Amino acid sequence: MAGPMWLLMMLGIESHQPLLLTRNVNSSADPQAQKYISESKCLVIEKNGKLRYEIDTGEETKLVNPEDVARLIFSKMKETAHSVLGSDANDVVVTVPFDFGEEQKSALGEAAGAAGFNVLRLIHEPSAALLAYGIGQDHPTGKSNVLVFKLGGTSLSLSVMEVNSGMYRVLSTKTSDNIGGAHFTDTLAQYLASEFQRLFKYDVRGNARAMMKLMNSAEVAKHSLSTLGSANCFVDSLYEGQDFDCNVSRARFELLCSPLFNKCTEAIRELLRQTGFTADDINKVVLCGGSSRIPKLQQLIKDLFPAVDLLNSIPPDEVIPIGAAIEAGILVGKESTAGDDSVMIECSAKDILVKGVDESGADRFTVLFPSGTPLPARRQHTLQAPGSVSSVCLELYESEGKNSAKEEAKFAQVVLQDLDKKENGLRDILAVLTMKRDGSLQVTCTDQDTGKCEAITVEVAS
């Protein structure tokens, strides 16, 4: 292929760190700055009207500018992107939270520039989320309202967007800093501590080291509970050599976290009131941020908007970066019409799905690579099967239609045979799928109990 191939890069940055990029503000008068200072893991001091991190390296104390931290994060992202792509692509679209002020935005843009990126544009996260799903792009006429629900690590950001003739306008937004993925992990860790106390009569809540171990275990369990009905938490030598072993069911997790779920739904209701809307005025809901994976949360949002499309086929933590990449594609495509003979965006052409069975025994399809996924891409999927069966089959389907089960066509399967019977319980089969830039798909299935493994490669003709 002649001509340079343009490569697109995706960047999303969590909002808690760069929020300190407030330059020349009186931080004692800014409640949000105060909140971040009190929650920061390292000491923040104000010097000459600017906020700095004070870091103890063991030999000396250093003052570090937030801008330098942002630049380091961008440098690391650039390094990762270059090694994944095998090329030195430098064009980026950077996404910023909607509530970023002009100064914070430009500080972030400058940090990306200082890391060696060529910043094509800064766009708001809710716009990126709409772009990821092509909202307003395929049928550019007509008006609709979209709710963007983003539950990140430390905050919940809600936006109501009006889409009119392919143009996006933010009607209203609401950000809550008192709810995020970290709060769900913390709730679970507190529960584990109370279970430990019940069993061993010792309260570890005052012990930072023990709590850190419980937080790590809770984090892993929380992720498992998004796909499985129960999760095991095992902590080696939690306190005075005592191991801790505990199973948490999804129902238990949902009960523990119900105050957090209520905060989310209350925030949605509040935003609708603020916008002067009822649920019927919303036409689509886009889910983003890793914590919006939680099944119960998705159910509660569906209940609030029974008649609405809930868009969740793209892994929620990738929605905003994918939107940024699409924007970059549009911008680069425009700029390269003269001279360069090809603009290539490598992405999957069809939805790739895996078939599973839900509690009622009905087939359930899970989209692993939605069409338009930038390549190469890698996904993991855990398939559960009864321990009593000796073979398990992973079936892969492709589909051109959006969310329409009828159009799915099976194109590959991986069979694990002669598995040792398991006395009771379920067996977990971990499937790792890698789609290469040429569209070929490599699938490896491993039985988590025995380590037995099968791999296939499918050349996808599309």
Ligand X SMILES: *[C@@H]1O[C@H](CO)[C@@H](O)[C@H](O)[C@H]1NC(C)=O
Site residues (CB under 6 A) for ligand X? 26, 28-29, 232, 245-247, 425
Q: How far is the CB of 360 from ligand X (least distance, A)?
A: 22
Closer residue to ligand X in complex, CB, 333/425: 425
Token pair, residue 212, equals 């850190």
Closer residue to ligand X in complex, CB, 26/197: 26
- DSSP code at position 8: -
Chain centroid to CA 259: 22
- DSSP code at position 213: H
Element (H, E) at 215: helix 208-225
Q: How far is the CB of 245 from ligand X (least distance, A)?
A: 4
CB 352 within 8 A of CB 369: yes
Closer residue to ligand X in complex, CB, 234/457: 234
Strands lying side by side in the sheet with 91-96: 9-11, 91-96, 118-124
CB 91 within 8 A of CB 85: no
Q: How far is the CB of 188 from ligand X (least distance, A)?
A: 16
Q: How far is the CB of 263 from ligand X (least distance, A)?
A: 29
CB 461 within 8 A of CB 448: no
Closer residue to ligand X in complex, CB, 230/274: 230
Q: How far is the CB of 450 from ligand X (least distance, A)?
A: 16
Tally the C-alpha atoms within 13 A of residue 185's C-alpha that lie toward its C-beta.
20
- The dihedrals phi and psi of 66, each to the nearest 5 degrees, come to -55, -35
Closer residue to ligand X in complex, CB, 47/139: 47
Closer residue to ligand X in complex, CB, 195/340: 195
Q: How far is the CB of 241 from ligand X (least distance, A)?
A: 18
Closer residue to ligand X in complex, CB, 69/220: 220
For 268, residues 6+ apart whose C-beta sits below 8 A from its C-beta are: 147, 149, 158, 301, 304
For 330, residues 6+ apart whose C-beta sits below 8 A from its C-beta are: none
Reduced to 3 states (helix: H, G, I; strand: E, B; else coil), residue 105 is helix
For 232, residues 6+ apart whose C-beta sits below 8 A from its C-beta are: 221, 245, 246, 247, 248
For residue 376, what are the CA distances in angstroms to 109, 199, 328, 347, 435? 27, 48, 17, 8, 6
Q: How far is the CB of 338 from ligand X (least distance, A)?
A: 52
Q: How far is the CB of 248 from ligand X (least distance, A)?
A: 9
Triad 133, 135, 139: Cα angle to 5°: 130
Q: How far is the CB of 285 from ligand X (least distance, A)?
A: 35
Closer residue to ligand X in complex, CB, 172/230: 230
CB 54 within 8 A of CB 41: no
Reduced to 3 states (helix: H, G, I; strand: E, B; else coil), residue 386 is strand
Q: How far is the CB of 426 from ligand X (least distance, A)?
A: 8
Closer residue to ligand X in complex, CB, 48/57: 48
Token pair, residue 271, equals 């935003």
Tally the C-alpha atoms within 13 A of residue 212's C-alpha that lie toward its C-beta.
3
Closer residue to ligand X in complex, CB, 232/404: 232
